[in-house]
Each structure stands twice: as C-alpha cells, then as structure tokens.
C-alpha cells in the first residue's frame, strides 16, 4: 500500500495546532465538498481530506501517525510496523478489535456490469493505508459492537439502468487479522441487483451488509444512495424525462406521425398541425417506472432545412412571396 502524507493533504505543517488543522480542513471541505463543489475530482479530494482530518483531529491517532516518522513521502510503498499501536492506551475494549471475527465492512465500490460506477463515501471509502492503521481490526478501530453500525455509500447509475434495473458489483474492504498477527485488507465482493425505477437520491438498503456485529449481535445495514448520471438525450425531473425532438417546418405546420425514442424503445407519436418550436407533448407513463410511473415530455424543436441548392432557394423564395408572414409583427410599436 502507499503512504499518505496527511499534513500535506490538509496543507498544514507537522507542528500545526489542533485549531489550525480544524481551520484548514473546514476551508478545504467548503471548497471540495461534493454537494457544493464544481471542482474537478471534488469527491476524491474531499475523501482524502476527510481521511486526513479523521487522523489529525484525534490526538491519539495523530501521535501514532507522527511516530511513523517524517521521512515518508506520499505514494511511497508502506507496510504497517509490527508493533503498530503499542504504547497507546485505548478507550473501551480495543483488544476486541484484534479478534479475527471483528471485520469491519469498510469499502470502496467499483463499477459493475455496464457503465455503473459506485463510489463509497464517508469512512467506507478511505484508503488501504488508513484501514490498516486506523480501521476496524486495527488497535485504533472500535471494538466489535453488539449491534453493527450502518454504512452509507453512493451508487452512480446511468438513466437506462435506473429504468431497467441494474446488476452491480460492490467491493467492500475489510481489514482482517492474519494468523501471524499482521493486518491485511481483504476485499469482499457483493453482487446486487438494483430494481427498476430507482429515482435520483433514493436510498437502497442492503440488510446486514454494514458493520459486522459482535457474536450474537445484528450486523448493520449498507445504504446506497442512488445518483443518476446526466443523459445525452433525456433530462430527468423526478420520474419524468424530457426529450428535445427536432422536427421539420412542414411536420410542425401540417402535423405528422414521427418515431420518438423513449427509455423503453421507440414509439410512434402524432405531432398536431400548427405545432410550434418549444411546445411540449406528453407520452404518458414513458418515464421511470413507479406507482405511478413518470411521463416523457417531448419538446419540439423546429429545424430549418438549409437553402443550399437552387431548388431549396426557390422554395424559400416562393414562401417569401406567397406567405403573408412577419415574424417580427409583435415588435411594432
């Protein structure tokens, strides 16, 4: 695994006070928080900062981290020292964390089938470096609890996956104690089937896939918050989708039957005569599935054919001479 320089991540000196660390974290968190930031890679940056702050805000963890020495550089190959955590006293029953049965489901998820991408946030997405030194299973990890805590993660879905449902693969990282007493971060793979009709921001519960509990207790649940990615054709609003449909001037003027893409496949739709650019037509029940299902709104966009041939120019000239049409009539004072 690679060493992480937590002081460098927060942009503070190794001698920084607790207040300076807190101020640096707050300032960076405001800039990179995924809910408010437009910065590229905001989520990954924010995760790094959270991880760094989790260690540096805690005097015990910070002291242990400092004992690794200041010679390490970010990205250097690193293994936890065999006596890691010795010399520290722990609240509660940290020894319990050294039991092989205590496996903390901390995880980073990866894309499953198709283009699904999931990224775990909160402590579940912290690095192997953090998990080995400070995660569950380490001397600094919480002792196994009777009832395991819930874990929360985020799953990004394409709109088509939200419509049809999706099979995804999550990788949950769990530090485990090996027989020789050293820690190893092992990956636990979970395959999930997301049902059709998930909306943006909706929660999906995976019962029992959160933090494992002490023997006899109940494991926590894993909650996935669905985020639906922007789509090339459709705009999503709740369960409704809007599609911009280019139409020819004569289709708008005279009416026409056209084939329209929907999430469930193409359908035939009638454009009424006298339609205008910007007008919206509704295809009931063609949005995301649900009770009731969403609708698809088709917004017409009249596209002019280019006057790039003698024949086309003649047609435009004929319209000019024969149609009594002034598009700027409303501008007259």
Partner 1 sequence: MAEVTLTHVELIGEREWLAVTETCRLCRIDAGALQELAELGVIAPRGKAPAEWEFPAAGLARLRLAGRLMRDLGVNASGAALAVELLEVQRELERRIHALEHLALEPR
Chain residues in the site for partner 1 (CB under 8 A):
26, 29-30, 33, 35-36, 46, 50, 150, 152, 186-195, 197-207, 209, 223, 225, 235, 237, 242, 244, 246, 277-278, 290-291, 299, 301, 303
Shortest approach of partner 1 to residue 162 CB, angstroms?
A: 11
Q: Which is nearer to partner 1, 14 or 186 (CB)?
A: 186
Shortest approach of partner 1 to residue 216 CB, angstroms?
A: 21
Contacting residues for 228 by C-beta, under 8 A, at least 6 apart: 156, 157, 158, 159, 162, 198, 199, 200, 236
Q: Which is nearer to partner 1, 237 or 318 (CB)?
A: 237
Shortest approach of partner 1 to residue 36 CB, angstroms?
A: 7
- Tell me which residue of 163, 169, 153 sits closest to 199, measured CA to CA: 163
Shortest approach of partner 1 to residue 88 CB, angstroms?
A: 27
Bond preceding residue 292 cis, omega within 30 of 0: yes
**Do the Cβ atoms of 30 and 39 come closer than 8 Å?**
no
Q: Which is nearer to partner 1, 66 or 200 (CB)?
A: 200
Q: Which is nearer to partner 1, 246 or 255 (CB)?
A: 246
User: If you ran DSSP here, which 8-state letter would residue 125 be given?
Assistant: G
Shortest approach of partner 1 to residue 42 CB, angstroms?
A: 12
Shortest approach of partner 1 to residue 116 CB, angstroms?
A: 14
Q: Which is nearer to partner 1, 73 or 191 (CB)?
A: 191
Give the three-state DSSP class for 236.
strand
Q: Which is nearer to partner 1, 198 or 269 (CB)?
A: 198
Distance of alpha carbon 274 from alpha carbon 329, whole angstroms: 18
Distance of alpha carbon 287 from alpha carbon 321, whole angstroms: 44
316, two tokens = 């435009």
Distance of alpha carbon 46 from alpha carbon 40, whole angstroms: 11
Backbone angles phi, psi at 30, to 5 degrees: -60, -35
86, two tokens = 């010795």
């Amino acid at each position: 695994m690679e060493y992480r320089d937590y002081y460098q991540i927060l942009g503070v000196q190794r001698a920084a006070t607790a207040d300076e660390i807190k101020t640096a974290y707050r300032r960076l968190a405001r800039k990179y928080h995924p809910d408010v930031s437009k910065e590229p890679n905001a989520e990954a940056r924010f995760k790094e900062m959270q991880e760094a702050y989790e260690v540096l805000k805690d005097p015990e963890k910070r002291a242990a981290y400092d004992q690794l020495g200041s010679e390490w550089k970010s990205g250097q190959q690193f293994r936890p020292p065999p006596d890691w955590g010795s010399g520290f006293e722990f609240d509660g029953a940290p020894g319990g964390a050294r039991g092989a049965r205590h496996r903390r489901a901390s995880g980073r998820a990866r894309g499953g089938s198709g283009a699904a991408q999931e990224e775990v946030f909160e402590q579940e997405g912290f690095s192997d470096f953090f998990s080995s030194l400070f995660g569950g299973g380490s001397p600094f990890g919480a002792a196994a609890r009777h009832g395991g805590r819930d874990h929360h993660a985020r799953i990004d879905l394409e709109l088509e996956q939200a419509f049809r449902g999706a099979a995804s693969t999550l990788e949950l990282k769990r530090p485990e104690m090996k027989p020789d007493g050293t820690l190893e971060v092992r990956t636990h793979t979970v395959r999930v089937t997301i049902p059709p009709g998930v909306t943006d921001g909706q929660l999906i519960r995976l019962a029992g896939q959160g933090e494992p509990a002490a023997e006899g207790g109940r494991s926590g649940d894993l909650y996935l918050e669905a985020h639906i990615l922007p789509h090339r054709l459709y705009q999503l609003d709740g369960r409704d989708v809007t599609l911009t449909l280019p139409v020819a001037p004569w289709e708008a003027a005279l009416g026409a039957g056209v084939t329209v893409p929907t999430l469930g496949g193409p359908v035939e739709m009638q454009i009424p005569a006298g339609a205008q650019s910007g007008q919206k037509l509704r295809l009931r029940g063609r949005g995301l599935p649900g009770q009731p299902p969403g609708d698809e709104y088709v917004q017409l966009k009249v596209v002019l054919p280019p006057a790039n041939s003698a024949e086309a120019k003649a047609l435009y000239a004929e319209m000019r001479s024969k149609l009594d049409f002034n598009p700027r009539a409303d501008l007259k004072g």
